[in-house]
Each structure stands twice: as C-alpha cells, then as structure tokens.
Structure 1
C-alpha cells in the first residue's frame, strides 16, 4: 500500500495520541489555572475505538505513536491500552510523554506493556520555582517518578524544559548537569503562542543558547535524529550525553514535519499552529469499515498545511496546548 504522504511530499509516519485532556498540573504556558472546558467523557474515544483507528494508521505506514495528554497517566488502565497498541502490526515505536507525577506507581506496568521510552516535562530543579510554573507543588513526585522510570530501564528518558526568559533561563546549565549525571537526554523547547497561556509566556530564542552550550560543554552537532520528533541535537564528545533544541519560532522545522495529533475526542489536528482538523469519532460510531477509516485518514492528511504562522499571526490559535494534545 502507498505510504501516507501529504500534498507537500512529506511522509507522515508519526502520530501523537492524546488519551485525556485532564492534567494534575497547571503549567503556565499550557492550561489556565481555572480552566473548566474539558471534553466530556462520553466523547472520549474508547480503547476499542483507539485500537481500531491506530491500527488503520499503522496499516498506512504510521510506525511511531506517542501517548500524550493532558497527563496520560490520569487515563484509567493506560497500561492496558499501551499493551494493545504495542501489539499492532506495523507499530514499531510506542512512547509516552508525561509530567511524571504518577510515574512512580506506573513505571513497571508501562514498561511491561511495551512502552520503551518516555519524555518527562521538567521546567525547573528549584522546588519553589517548579511550583510557580506548574501551578502545583509536585516537585518531589516528579523526581520520584523520574527515578522510578530510570530504575525500570526506560531508554532514552528525555527531559523536556520549556525555556522562558526571566523565568528559568538561569537554570539551563544546571539542567544540563542534572541530565548528564543521570543519563537523561535534555531537550530545550521554545514556547509557542497557543491560547492566551502560550502568548503570555516569555519567549526565548534558543539559537544563542545552543551556541553557548556548544562552547561551554564542548558539544558537537549530530546528524542522526534521536526519535521521530523535530529536535536538533548536540552531543558530548564521548557520545554519552545529548541535548536537543526544539525551535518552532526561531528556526521552524515545518518542511520536515512528519506528524499529526489525535485528540481525546477523536479529532485529528494536522498542525499545532493551524486550524485544519478531521473528526473521526462520528465515523467510528456510525459503523465505518476499516477501508472507510483508511480512506478518511488519507483525506485528512491532504488537509495538512505547509507550515504554521506562529511568527506572522501569533494570535491565530485560541485553543490551549492541552486541548490539542502535547
């Protein structure tokens, strides 16, 4: 069967699957403190519906799936879903993005279910500052979750730090040291203007940061990507430590975008910075065949835009990051 390719010639082989829009944190760049606009559970895709739809994507060449949220570990019985997805033919890579507050008690089950690598959001190593950014005093839970993940053997473990000018930019070097000492991959991320939360975040250009870290820690560029995402990586000379830079604003990566995002209610978003979408829940609940689903996926991918407009039109996207899926 022909590969899943959009109208700009990009092969789509990576899907980010949001299993819930709920989260136990309220990170300042993601979800407003008093947000109440969550999707009703009746609209969530069931595990059966998810398995059918992801199976159709896999038959069309999508080989990477990342479980996201909100906070995915708030979805009841997530390890069961992970096990079902890990067994799908053609799905070679099942990973998880998490804030790690629930990871300590789930790590072994998730590893046994077939998840091999995880990304953990950690924006500060200072417990007080962490609480200010995350809206909850959960630093100790996150650290316990990280260490539990390390203990059970997830590899790689990537630590995602949203770099914010005047907020946590003074901690970047200490985060490098922390990740180096623990064998984690650090990824620095530029804040995106999604919803009022994203637009109110203090943007920080990561290009000068990359140049500085390269000199201070004697890092060198590597050409081989670590995973299916957009990060550009620098590595230590011995190859034992990597730091990635995700730069949607200062140096966008739209020309090589290989991913789409499926929200908890079955809406497929083609781009974080655009509004094109396709709703799969009605098809799934109206008796669509597998062939119908595959045809609908191809139709949806044709909607994928060439690029976002975060710089040109930063007020365009009103939905919050948690509504799209991380």
Structure 2
C-alpha cells in the first residue's frame, strides 16, 4: 500500500464517508428547519460503489473508516454497508457517528456487522435543553442506548456535544458526574460557521479554550495524540472513568495534525470540510476494472489540499451545513 500524503507531510489513514445527507433531527446549529431533499440531487452511492471506493482508499493506506451522514441510520441498508466495509481488506477500524435514535434497537446487529466504534451526538444531559437543541425529546432513549453499548463492551464509545453559548456551555458539572463511572470519551466541539448559520454562529459561538482552562484547573491532564485519532485534544483525570476531548477548529495549528479525508454521499472527495471544491469520484466507481484509475485520481488530487482552513477569515467553502458533507 502507498501511504497517501500531502505536500505538508500529513498522511491520511482516516476516511469519513457520508452515506446519506438526510437527517431526522432539527439541530439548531445544523438543520434548524429540518432536512429538505433536493429533487434534483443524485442518489447516494450504492453498496457496490461504496465497496469500490473503499478498495481504492485502502490501496492508499486508509485503515480507519467513519460512517457519517446526515444521520446514517436513516439509510435502510446501513447494516449491509457496515458488513461490506468491514470485509474490505485493510479496514481495521469501523466507526460511525450517529444521533443514537436507533442505537438501543440495532446495536447488536451493527456490532455483528463489524462496527467497533461509535460516536453519539448528545448536546446536553438536560432533557429540556436537549429537546430545545435537537427538536426531539429522545434523550432518555439515547442515553439508554449508550449504556447498552458500554455493557456490550463496544471497544470505543464517544459522545459529541457542540458548545453553544447561553444554551449548554455551563453544564460541565453534570457532564463530570456522568463521566465519573462511565468509560466513555466526551467530545466538546466548538461551534463552526457554515454557509447558512452566520447569525446563529455570532449569537452562540464560544471558544473551546475556555473549557480547556477549566479542565486544567480541575486537574485534567492532556494526553498524547494517537496517529489515527480524530482532531480532539484529549484529557484524562485519575478520579474519572471517562475522558474529555476538545475539538477547537479556531485554535492555533488546528489543521497541522489533519489525518482525514471526506467523501460525500454522492461520491465527491472533499479534501477539507470547509474546502472550496469537491472532486467527483463517482464516475470511477462503476466497474471493478477502474480501481487503478480511481487510486491515481485520489492520489493525484491530494496535492490540492490546503495547509489549513479559512474559517478565521469567514470563508466556509462550499459547506452550507454540516449534514451536507458529513461533519
């Protein structure tokens, strides 16, 4: 296998693949009015196209795959996608990011298909606040699914919480109570500006470094970053079973450790979540005989990856909202 590297020396063993742009939540920071399908949009990649895509990326050294959306569990053949992905030679870690609405019902099925890591979006442990953010009063069911995943010894269970000023940014004490006995990783994610959320961003953005200061003062210690880890700076504390990660895209050198690429549900390669362009790979996913051409196409595009995003300049690229690209 040939490692996929860019001109800045970064390697990319980690692919985030969106399998559907649709979502059944109405999160205030992403799809506040719900998902509305574009009648002119192409259908998501088929199972055969996904298989060819993954074979191409594993040829280039990809071994960690995260299935995203929208909300991936909206897709009816999600379990088949997992089973197929887990069987691709070279894929050693199969993860998914989900809102957890089907977790308690389908966890066993997903684990049997090869899922070995899951991130669940839980923006608050307060039932009313959770419903306010997501548009759904489903917190208790989702937390039950997470406890089920822990009881089933799923190797990696993480929670994602988007920090929103004036909404959930003062809830660290309740999260600490939750983490004391649960061996989960909690990710606090700094709100990011996208193409359609500028007023919301201005009202609710809070810098994640403020939370890091609180953690350091409370005795939490920063851990070394694993080679295939996501973008979080992870902290641990001897008195807690769980860990806390901070994803701070506006911090200095955030992009220096970038190790992941993205492919949209319709097969566009995105070199950055906030990039200015997509590279259509779907035409190269129609036959097994196209594998070499696909590998060359992916490898040939990596030189176009920028050293960093341009969020500090207010440039959000072609990402209208996070569900459109896979977050």
Same fold at TM > 0.5: yes
* Aligned 8 A contact 1:186 1:242 in 2: yes
3-state SS of paired residue (2:276)? coil
Distance of aligned partners of 1:68 and 1:198 in 2 relative to their CA distance in 1, 3 Å threshold: farther
Task: Provide Cα deviations, 1:9-67, integer angstroms capped at 9, x if missing partner.
Answer: 21111100111111110111112315424476852110111011111100110111001
3-state SS of paired residue (2:234)? strand
The offset of 1:120, in angstroms, is 0.7
RMSD across aligned positions (CA): 2.1
CA distance in 1, matches of 2:40, 2:138: 26
Which residue in 2 is equivalent to 1:46? 46
* Residue range with higher mean Cα deviation, 134-143 or 96-105: 134-143
3-state SS of paired residue (2:170)? helix
Which residue in 2 is equivalent to 1:203? 205
Distance of aligned partners of 1:277 and 1:317 in 2 relative to their CA distance in 1, 3 Å threshold: closer
Distance of aligned partners of 1:155 and 1:226 in 2 relative to their CA distance in 1, 3 Å threshold: farther
Distance of aligned partners of 1:241 and 1:151 in 2 relative to their CA distance in 1, 3 Å threshold: closer
CA distance in 1, matches of 2:144, 2:264: 28
Kindly tell me the number of residue pairs found equivalent between the two proteins: 325
CA distance in 1, matches of 2:133, 2:263: 26
Distance of aligned partners of 1:119 and 1:38 in 2 relative to their CA distance in 1, 3 Å threshold: farther
Alignment of structure 1 residues 250-269 onto 2, 5 Å: 250-269=251-270
CA distance in 1, matches of 2:159, 2:39: 28
1:296 aligns with 2:297: yes
Distance of aligned partners of 1:199 and 1:183 in 2 relative to their CA distance in 1, 3 Å threshold: farther
CA distance in 1, matches of 2:288, 2:224: 45
TM-score by length of 2: 0.93
Distance of aligned partners of 1:287 and 1:187 in 2 relative to their CA distance in 1, 3 Å threshold: closer
CA distance in 2, matches of 1:276, 1:299: 15
The offset of 1:301, in angstroms, is 1.7
CA distance in 2, matches of 1:81, 1:66: 12
CA distance in 1, matches of 2:253, 2:69: 23
1:221 aligns with 2:222: yes
* Aligned 8 A contact 2:22 2:37 in 1: no
* Aligned 8 A contact 2:225 2:233 in 1: no
Alignment of structure 1 residues 1-326 onto 2, 5 Å: 1-38=1-38, 43-197=43-197, 200-201=200-201, 202-216=204-218, 218-225=219-226, 228-237=229-238, 240-285=241-286, 289-314=290-315, 316-326=317-327
* Aligned 8 A contact 2:163 2:189 in 1: yes
Moved over 6 A (4+): none
TM-score by length of 1: 0.93
Distance of aligned partners of 1:238 and 1:176 in 2 relative to their CA distance in 1, 3 Å threshold: closer
CA distance in 2, matches of 1:98, 1:172: 22
3-state SS of paired residue (1:169)? coil
The offset of 1:271, in angstroms, is 0.7
CA distance in 2, matches of 1:317, 1:170: 32
3-state SS of paired residue (1:182)? coil
CA distance in 2, matches of 1:252, 1:219: 22
Q: Which runs of 5+ in 1 are unaligned?
A: none
* Residue range with higher mean Cα deviation, 14-23 or 246-255: 246-255
* Residue range with higher mean Cα deviation, 226-235 or 206-215: 226-235
